[in-house]
Each structure stands twice: as C-alpha cells, then as structure tokens.
Amino acid sequence: MRWWLLCGAFVWLGCDGGDGKRSLLSSGAGRDVSASVRGDADAGAEAGADSGAGAETGAGADSGAGAGADSGAGAETDSGAGAETGAGAETDSGAGAETDSGAGAETDSGADGDTGPVAPASLNGGFIGGPCVGGGDCDYAGAFCLDQGEGFPGGHCSQACDLYCPDQAGAITTFCVDASALGLGDPGGVCLMRCDYGASPTGCREGYQCQPIQRNTDADTVVYACLPGTDAPFVLDDCHKELLARGIGFTPAPDPLDETDNVPGVICSVFEPIRVSGRMHGVSYRYATATAEVKPIFASCPLAVAMAETAELLADQGVTDVMHFGVYNCRAIAGTTKLSQHGLANAIDIAGLRFASGTTLTIKANWEKGVAFPVTEGGSFLKWMAETLHALLVFTVILTPEYNADHADHFHCDLTEGSNFLK
C-alpha cells in the first residue's frame, strides 16, 4: 500500500500534500485516539506479549534464524559488525541500478517472458565471491581462486575457513561452507558470498544462484548463499519484488522453526523469512539507541514492507532514524499457547525517532499519556504517527502507552490478520 495514494481519503489526518510537517503536526493533534479503536479481539492477546520488549536483543532472532553475522566468534547475536556494514552499504549503492536492470530485462525477454532478471557479471570485485582467473585477482590475505574448471563460472575468489569468513565494509557478507558440498575434493571449509538482493536482482552474480547451505562444521546454521548453477534459484514472490522495487536489500533466510521457551511444542514459523537491510528510504532502523549500528533485521517479508512504508512516511517528515526494541522473539503470549506476533517476526516495537535536525523523540519521554490533544510538538508528532500508521493500515494492530503499562516506552506495531486496532 502506498500511503500517499490514500491520503485523499484521510485529509482529516493532514495528508494534504502541502507543507507536510507543519500540517501533519497540527492536524494530527486534533484527532482523538479513541475514535480509531475498532474491535480489540487481538489486542487483548498482545497484552502480555510485549512486556519483554527490552529482551529482544536480536540474540534469539539471529541464532534461531541461523543467519547471523560471521565476523567473529559468538557473533551470532547482535555483534555481527561486518555483516551490518556490508548490508547498510549495499542497500543504497546497488538499489537503483539493479531495480532498473531487472525491469528492463523482463521487458526485453517478452517473447517467452521467462528469461528473468539479468545478474551482474561481477559482485564483490577483488573480494570473496568476486570473479577471478587466478589468486592474484583476489585482493586479501589468504586468497585463492576457485576457477572455472572447478565449476565456478567466471572464477570465484575464496579462502580457507573453519566457521567464519571475513567481511569487508561495503562488500556483500560472506559465509563458510564445507568444500565437499561444492564438489571440491579438498577437505575443510571455503568462503562464499551470501545472496544480496540489494546488489543484484538474482541476489548473485551471473552463473550463480541463491540457495540455502549449511555452515561448515555447524549444520544447524543455514544461510542463503550464491552457489554455482542456474537450475534452481530462489523464487521471488510479490512481497520480495515489492522490496526490490523499493530498492531495499534483503537476503532470504530459513524458517527458524524455534520452539518457544514458555510453551513447549509451540513453534515459531515465519512467513517468507528474510534478513532485510536496516536502512530503508533513507531511514535507519537501529536497535534501542540512536547510536546503535544499522544491521539487517530478521523479519517476515510483509513486516519488512510495512517497515519500508513506515520509513517512507517518516522520511517525508524529516526523520532519519527509527529506534526499535526488536522484531523476532519466539514466545507465546503470556498465559496462552498462542504465538505473539513477534514469534512470527510479524511485529516491531518502535521506541523513538531521530530527525535530520538532531531532535530525538522517544515514546517514553514525549508521548502525552491520556491527553486527547497533545500540547507539545513531540507529543503531537507521535500521536500523528500512530494514527497515520493505523489509518493507512500499514499495521493492523498498534498498541501505545494508552494500552497498558507494558507499552509505556514503545509502540507495538504488528500485522495480525483481520485486525484493525489502535489504542
């Protein structure tokens, strides 16, 4: 959904296309939250679900998803600096180019309509995953070239590894796999490049395809990496294409299928799981604080789209950063056997915003609780934001500090099917 298309229907919210910020701030202040409350069937279910927001450090997310960063031992939690650096950088650089080329390719192939998008001949040039004829084409310590004769189209820069591979700022993240899984006779692990749909419409270089593969010596960790071949690539659906069209980078991720801690037997299965770039439409999603590094976020694809819509809406208001308390957290709602929307990676807890001006707003400090007509600019903006995200159905459930004390410091925003609730 594109919020601006709907603005005509929500003139009362201030979507008048004029001086966005001023009108949005002033008209947003006049709305009564309670007027937007319609049915709370699912909201009650969320009541106990969010109290642990602060615990959503990403540790569960990354380890469960098996798609954490590689940059160091123990980096499966949130410390995967290398991964995030690459992802953040790749989002903006590759986006425009690759979106256009994908579209063009489809147009050109009109005859059979099946040729698909065209992958670039080179990605990660000189680094792991880049093309090579010999090791001299790979510019880093310990490099060697897996050549065409070994089944690597255009050659493939690699290096030996046990568990992890190095990452490089601005380059696509890497991954260590068992050499024998690639048909190589040598024992041990070799480094590959992960898929990156921010850098290529196929996620990979020409001659390679995005497929899941186990980590060397750690079969529980599976990520999507670029493997030689073109016969069975990862298939993009409409949601993935929407992200591509928006120029937002992502990597497919395996369904975590984690078991909840609090209710044995309840499994967290995520719809269209991806690791999406934390940078969308010029807005950076950061965990908890405005200075936290921008990292890929494990989410359902539909949540990633909702986050992109949120970023687009906020970017127009001068917002540069969204601070959040997490997305994926595998647990059932307290006192029930029903999964929290966080267990489906279908919810995000938004804690605050930073503007280009340097102004920071937090739900905790700036939300005017119990006030129908906020008197501060910050309070007005936050109220406008909650009401607009609700009115545009970016999220189907939004719980604010008005809902209960568990939400005193964040907006819980989720995609519960069939709901339409704001409080």
Residues in touch with Zn ion (CB under 5 A): 50, 347, 349, 412
Please state the closest distance from residue 323 (CB atom) to Zn ion, in A.
Answer: 14
Smaller CB distance to Zn ion: residue 176 or 327?
A: 327
For the beta carbon of residue 203, count every other beta carbon within 10 angstroms.
33
Q: In the bound complex, which residue of the shown chain has the CB atom lying closest to Zn ion?
A: 412
What is the C-alpha to C-alpha distance for residues 285 and 279, in angstroms, rounded to an integer?
Answer: 6
Q: Which is nearer to Zn ion, 153 or 302 (CB)?
A: 302
Q: Which is nearer to Zn ion, 383 or 410 (CB)?
A: 410
Kindly give the pairing relationship between strand 347-355 and strand 297-300: unpaired
Of 70 and 409, CB closest to Zn ion: 409
Provide the Cα torsion 43, 415, 211, 256; round to 10°.
0
Q: How far is the CB of 334 from Zn ion (least distance, A)?
A: 12
∠ at Cα 320 (91, 240), nearest 5°?
35
Shortest distance in whole angstroms from residue 263 CB to Zn ion: 18
- Report, in Å, the least distance between residue 393 CB and Zn ion: 18
The nearest distance, CB 22 to Zn ion, in angstroms, is: 31
Query: How wide is the angle at C-alpha 397 spanned by C-alphas 247 and 383, nearest 5°?
Result: 85
Q: Which is nearer to Zn ion, 390 or 412 (CB)?
A: 412
Q: Which two tokens stand for residue 167?
A: 């990452």
**β-bridge partners, 145:** 157
**Residue 6 CB, nearest distance to Zn ion (Å)?**
25
Contact between 191 and 176 (Cβ < 8 Å): yes
Do 349 and 325 meet the contact criterion of CB atoms below 8 Å apart? yes
**Per-residue tokens: 150:** 């070994």
Q: How buried is 69 (Cβ within 10 angstroms: 0-12 exposed, 13-18 middle, 19+ buried)?
A: buried
Residue closer to Zn ion by CB (options 123, 330) is: 330
Q: 243 CB contacts (<8 Å, ≥6 apart)?
A: 197, 250, 274, 276, 301, 304, 305, 308
Q: Nearest distance from residue 264's CB to Zn ion, in Å?
A: 22
Residue 346 to residue 354: CA distance in whole angstroms: 24
Return d(Cα 167, Cα 182) in angstroms, integer: 21
Decide whether 161 or 399 has the Cβ nearer to Zn ion: 399
Q: Which is nearer to Zn ion, 263 or 345 (CB)?
A: 345
Q: How far is residue 192's CA from residue 213's CA, in Å, rounded to a whole number?
A: 10
Q: Considering the complex, what minimum distance in angstroms separates the CB of residue 245 from Zn ion? A: 28
Closer to Zn ion at the Cβ: 347 or 422? 347
In sequence order, what DSSP letters do the residues of 63-83 get, joined into one string?
HHHT----SSTTTTSS--HHH
Cβ closer to Zn ion: 215 or 412? Answer: 412
- In our burial notation (b when 16+ CB lie closer than 10 A, e otherwise), range 223-247 reads bbbbbbeeeebbebeebbebbbebb
Nearest-approach distance from CB 178 to Zn ion, in angstroms: 38
Least separation in angstroms between CB 3 and Zn ion: 22
